[in-house]
Amino acid sequence: MNNHEIDYKLHGDDMQFVEIELDPQETVVAEAGSLMMMEDGIAMETIFGDGSGSSGGGLMGKLMGAGKRMLTGESLFMTTFTNAGSGKKHVYFASPYPGKIIPMDLSEHRGKIICQKDAFLAAAKGVTVGIEFQRKLGTGFFGGEGFIMQKLEGDGLAFVHAGGTIHKKVLQPGEVLRIDTGCLVAMTSDVDYNIEMVKGVKTALFGGEGLFFATLRGPGTVWVQSLPFSRLASRVFAAAPQTPGGGSKGEGSIAGGLFDLLGGK
């Protein structure tokens, strides 16, 4: 085992948090801002990248690893939590929006999981957090959430979070599944992944869905979320009352919607 061996316990149902138990000198790495609480005796440290040391030695290696994280929209820095005491200590991490936390033992998935760029929550020290480029960059640039994904590599535990209900689907060899790019949470490395454009411009423009979807071909395992945060945020924004200077003239009102559409103030 190259990774620290950590124990954990999940709490809650729709608003979950994970309790991680650390033996002396054990370390967990987490995204900045994911901490919920921790016991006395745990030392925090802000580091470049994931602290795995796999990005090469020296300052340039660390900068390259941090730069890759910027491509996924994440922070340059991550935070380590190390048990500096003599007994067992506990640290807690919470999901940033309603949904589920999925524990993944990377040793059970050939040492690699590919996940949505904002899905990673925390992992045992030694897990590498990198980026997974979509092979066809032409479609990737217009594929929304499906363009750049994170990859988690190692042989330890990692935790990813997703919105709504999580559905795990095992694809048989040659089986094809088409998913909205925002609903794809994670997949094993043996899944063949691509982005395809929706056929028929009318469907794309008037069907209410995006122009692209992810096409996954088995064999492999896929995790799908029912409520991507981007979808939740757009609905909340659309329903929120606007400011008097440029807002809606009556929440839920058809007349108000027509008034806004026609440029009324």
Residue 222 to residue 220: CA distance in whole angstroms: 7
Residue tagged 């996924």 (tokens): 72
Is residue 69 a contact partner of residue 75, using CB atoms and an 8 Å limit?
yes
All residue ranges of the chain with pLDDT < 50 are 55-56, 137-146, 248-253, 255-256, 258-259, 265
Q: How far is CA 59 from the centre of its chain?
A: 27
- Cβ contact 99:163 at 8 Å: yes
Phi, psi (deg, nearest 5) at residue 150: -85, 155
What is the pLDDT, as a whole number, of residue 17?
95
The phi, psi pair for 32, rounded to 5°, reads -60, 130
Classify residue 237 by burial, with Cβ atoms within 10 Å: 0-12, 13-18, 19+.
Answer: exposed
Kindly report the CATH class assigned to 7-232. alpha beta
> What is the Rg, in whole angstroms, of the alpha carbon atoms belonging to the chain?
21
H-helix or E-strand containing 237? helix 229-239
